[in-house]
Amino acid sequence: MIYIENFGRYFIMLKEVFSRHTKWSMLKNLIFKEIDDLIYGSLGIIIFISFFIGGVVAIQTALNIDNPLIPKYLVGFTTRQSVILEFAPTFTSIIMAGKVGSYITSSIGTMRVTEQIDALEVMGVNSLNYLVFPKIVALMLYPFVIAIAMYMGILGGWIAAVFGGYSTSAEFIKGLQVDFNTFHVIYAFTKTIVFAFILATIPSFYGYYMKGGALEVGKASTSSFVWTSVAIIIANYLLTQMLLG
């Protein structure tokens, strides 16, 4: 029951987020601040994780090819496919559900607990628009983050394959180019946009509607991480079925 109720409240929240807009001169600053916190602040960890995941995918693939009939360029091919289709968009988004998601929930939740949200409302500010809308706009830059993750993942795979002696550079690069399907990239970026929206709104929902004190802020962050991840996994499944199935 509570799940259905939350589902309904989530959509009511979204409607409110896109109505009664805050003055543009204020909104502009808020958006820049969110870009700094949510996008720029996440680049380091994303680059780090993507690079090593790409490397591991390349090594795993190479180790599993012991049949001499399978071409060596398969290492590059598999790395490209795994990184572009799943690791960069989906895996990275789950990491972001932890990093960005819990940050959003705890910062909005703290504002709820300390009555800062009430203070906004008293002044006649649409607090949902003020708090959530700039996050949605900032996260529309998320595809750039994922593009960087893709690049770093493939770079990591190349370094691991070439310097680990699993494949030559020429073979790896041949694999990267074999059977390249533009639609796969479109598919990956479509997912990314949907995940960005989920990352901005579900954690906001858990922060905005929380009740209680500091302890509950922690609990809300945990629920937020769980449900953001679940939503990303389900959206991933549905989009894959719809676009590739």
Partner 1 sequence: MIIVEDIHKSFGDTEVLKGISTCFDKGKTNLIIGQSGSGKTVFLKCLLGLHRPEQGKIVYNDRAYADMDEDQRTELRQEMGMVFQGSALFDSMTVIENVMFPLRMFSKLSKNEMAERASIVLERVNLVDANNKLPSEISGGMQKRVAIARAIVNKPKYLFCDEPNSGLDPKTAIVIDNLIHEITQEYNITTIINTHDMNSVMEIGEKIVFLKDGYKEWEGTNKEIFKTDNEAVTNFVYSSDLFKKVRDTYLKEGN
Q: By CB under 8 A, name the binding residues for partner 1.
A: 22-23, 25-26, 110, 114-116, 118-119, 121-125
Tell the smallest beta-carbon distance from residue 197 to partner 1 (Å). Answer: 24
Residue closer to partner 1 (CB basis): 143 or 203: 203
Tell the smallest beta-carbon distance from residue 45 to partner 1 (Å). Answer: 22
Q: What is the rounded distance in angstroms from the CA atom of residue 197 to the CA atom of residue 199?
A: 5
Q: What is the rounded distance in angstroms from the CA atom of residue 155 to the CA atom of residue 175?
A: 13
**51 and 152 in contact (C-beta within 8 Å)?**
yes
Nearest to 224 by CA among 117, 91, 109: 109
Tell the smallest beta-carbon distance from residue 129 to partner 1 (Å). Answer: 12
Q: What is the rounded distance in angstroms from the CA atom of residue 242 to the CA atom of residue 117?
A: 39
Residue closer to partner 1 (CB basis): 47 or 210: 210
Long-range contacts (CB closer than 8 Å, 24 or more residues apart) made by 18-22: 18/129, 18/133, 19/126, 19/129, 20/126, 20/129, 21/126, 21/129, 21/133, 22/125, 22/126, 22/129, 22/130, 22/133
Tell the smallest beta-carbon distance from residue 21 to partner 1 (Å). Answer: 12
Tell the smallest beta-carbon distance from residue 120 to partner 1 (Å). Answer: 8
Residue closer to partner 1 (CB basis): 30 or 155: 30
Residue closer to partner 1 (CB basis): 9 or 242: 9
Residue closer to partner 1 (CB basis): 25 or 241: 25
Nearest to 232 by CA among 90, 66, 104, 60: 90
